[in-house]
Amino acid sequence: MNRSFPDGFLWGGATAANQYEGGWNEGGRGPSIDDVFTGGSVNTPRRITIPAQPDAFYPNHEATDFYHHWKEDIALFAEMGFKVYRMSISWSRIFPRGDEEQPNEEGLAFYDQVFDELAKYGIEPLVTLSHYENPLYLTTQYGGWKNRKLVDFFVHYAKTVMERYKGKVRRWLTFNEINMLSVPFGTFIAGGMLPETTTEQDRWQAMHHQLVASAQAVRLGHRIDPDNQLGCMIAYMCVYPRTCAPEDQLTQLSMDRLHNLLAGDVHVRGAYPSYARRLLAEKGVTLDITPQDEVDLREGTVDFYTFSYYDSRCVGTKQEGDPSTGNGALGGIRNPYLPVTEWGWQIDPQGLRWVLNHLYDRYQIPLMVVENGLGAMDQREPDGAIHDPYRIDYLRAHIQAMAEAVADGVDLQGYTPWGCIDLVSASTGEMRKRYGMIYVDKHDDGSGDLSRHRKDSFYWYQKVIATNGQDLT
């Protein structure tokens, strides 16, 4: 059977302002939570330092400096043949504190230039409104997303940018990986809440507030421009049962529901699923849901579903000697059938086919894979070349898995691999964990001239796009 992608398939790449844009204190921008988050590594967790300390290193301040390289970078995306470019707007560039009435015009003008430049090349923007980046003031003054007031601040911000960029941006995502609030990893980066004062109840309430804010933004987005398409974004942390024991199947079912499906069910179906009550009660969580919240959720269902997919893990009864996976967000047990990356994340392309089928069976709305990729250390050769066959192998296998899912009948509309240009890692704050097809000369000690260089994967992906996924050699 011929494995092919539909005509008009949206090939592209994904980045986010917090990890890529830099210019943290330029153009009237206010500080965001990432600006007080130090660099780290696998063994040294990132630290939250409020206020920022003069002797600490903050990799997101400059990141890989899209703020001053946007023209050059968009030209490189165009050279690769991108049809779509997923990016995020930095909320604190538009509202420096987050709770103002009036936006920062200089911040709005920055993204005008970016969208105009993308249009010049026929690249469609796919814009995430909130990608792991709340204005810091909303944390220090309001305590982050456990505070319901943030719903109004976010919706005001969403309204401002959707009105301003009407006609320039038609595809929007509300919150990046909203379901990360189901695990402690998301407390600060997704919820803007300080770990030491945040309970599990707070995290779930914060997620509820974001779901309501998302629904209000979706409803508003449709009113502002009926051509707008608004989607959700879920971190799909694929889980397998550790063994064929029935109790492991039930653990898998609960984990999949709680950490992957619940948030998407609310986004797509407009109400909490029936299983939520028991699973949350077992955690001692009782959500404050108002009658108006229920109306908002019902009226703000998404047009399409997007997700990130990097790896999989096993769950169930841990046996002695079972190693854990390196991806600490959800944790889980290592799967002996799968190889791992240098950071211990399990490489599982077939899991992507499984997830795509699982989601399409459930929702029957268009899907997009908006993050996927291999974080690896790259070496620049003396002649300037960067040979990254490992990245090509990873991407090829995942594209093949997507083609299989399309053949299975899944309505898959696009693919934007993560960090198409090198940027700062979210979990470890490292530069050496690179995902890009474009190398940026920037290092973990802050050194580097920020020059851009095409990796082997750049040319490979260019060919993949040119042949609509037919030539993966």
Catalytic positions are 177, 371
Size of the site for ligand BG6 (CB under 6 A): 15
Q: Pick the binder of ligand BG6 from 15, 92, 104, 308 (CB under 6 A).
A: 308
Strand ranges for 292-420 from DSSP E: 304-308, 312-315, 367-371, 412-415
- CB atoms near residue 67 (< 10 Å): 21
In angstroms, the CA 418 to CA 310 distance is 10
Question: Kind and range of the H or E element at 66?
Answer: helix 66-80
Helix (H, G, I), strand (E, B) or coil at 361: helix
Using CB under 6 A as the binding rule, the residues of this chain from 225 to 244 that contact ligand BG6 are: 235
Q: Tell me: does residue 176 bind ligand BG6 (CB under 6 A).
A: yes
In angstroms, the CA 8 to CA 245 distance is 44
In angstroms, the CA 21 to CA 429 distance is 14
| CB of 19 or CB of 216, closer to ligand BG6 | 19
| CB of 335 or CB of 425, closer to ligand BG6 | 425
| CB of 235 or CB of 399, closer to ligand BG6 | 235
| Tokens 């024991």, residue located | 245
Closest CA to 12 of 82, 59, 70, 99: 82
Whole-number minimum distance, CB 405 to ligand BG6, in Å? 21
Proportion of the chain in helix, strand, coil states, percent, rounded to 5: 40, 15, 45
| Tokens 């620049």, residue located | 380
In angstroms, the CA 158 to CA 174 distance is 9
- Is the previous residue joined to 246 through a cis bond, with omega within 30 degrees of 0? no
Per-residue x/- track, 403-422, ligand BG6 (CB under 6 A): ---------------x----
Q: Pick the binder of ligand BG6 from 5, 24, 110, 132 (CB under 6 A).
A: 132
Q: Pick the binder of ligand BG6 from 124, 177, 296, 422 (CB under 6 A).
A: 177
| CB of 133 or CB of 296, closer to ligand BG6 | 133
| CB of 104 or CB of 327, closer to ligand BG6 | 327
Which residue is nearest to ligand BG6, using beta carbons?
427
| CB of 32 or CB of 428, closer to ligand BG6 | 428
Q: Tell me: does residue 427 bind ligand BG6 (CB under 6 A).
A: yes
| CB of 104 or CB of 176, closer to ligand BG6 | 176
- CB atoms near residue 376 (< 10 Å): 16
In angstroms, the CA 391 to CA 400 distance is 14
In angstroms, the CA 409 to CA 364 distance is 10
Whole-number minimum distance, CB 243 to ligand BG6, in Å? 28
Whole-number minimum distance, CB 464 to ligand BG6, in Å? 21
Whole-number minimum distance, CB 256 to ligand BG6, in Å? 17
Structure tokens at 33: 């939570």
Q: Pick the binder of ligand BG6 from 375, 417, 436, 469 (CB under 6 A).
A: 375
Whole-number minimum distance, CB 130 to ligand BG6, in Å? 11
Strand ranges for 267-426 from DSSP E: 304-308, 312-315, 367-371, 412-415
Whole-number minimum distance, CB 418 to ligand BG6, in Å? 5
What backbone torsions phi and psi does residue 155 show, to the nearest 5 degrees?
Answer: -65, -35
> By CB under 6 A, which span of 195-203, 332-340, 425-433, 465-473 interacts with ligand BG6?
425-433
Strands 238-241 and 312-315: parallel
Structure tokens at 298: 């019902």
Q: Tell me: does residue 11 bind ligand BG6 (CB under 6 A).
A: no
Q: Pick the binder of ligand BG6 from 73, 124, 256, 371 (CB under 6 A).
A: 371
Using CB under 6 A as the binding rule, the residues of this chain from 60 to 99 that contact ligand BG6 are: none
The residues that touch ligand BG6, with contacts defined as CB under 6 A, are: 16, 19, 132, 176-177, 235, 308, 371, 375, 418, 425-428, 433
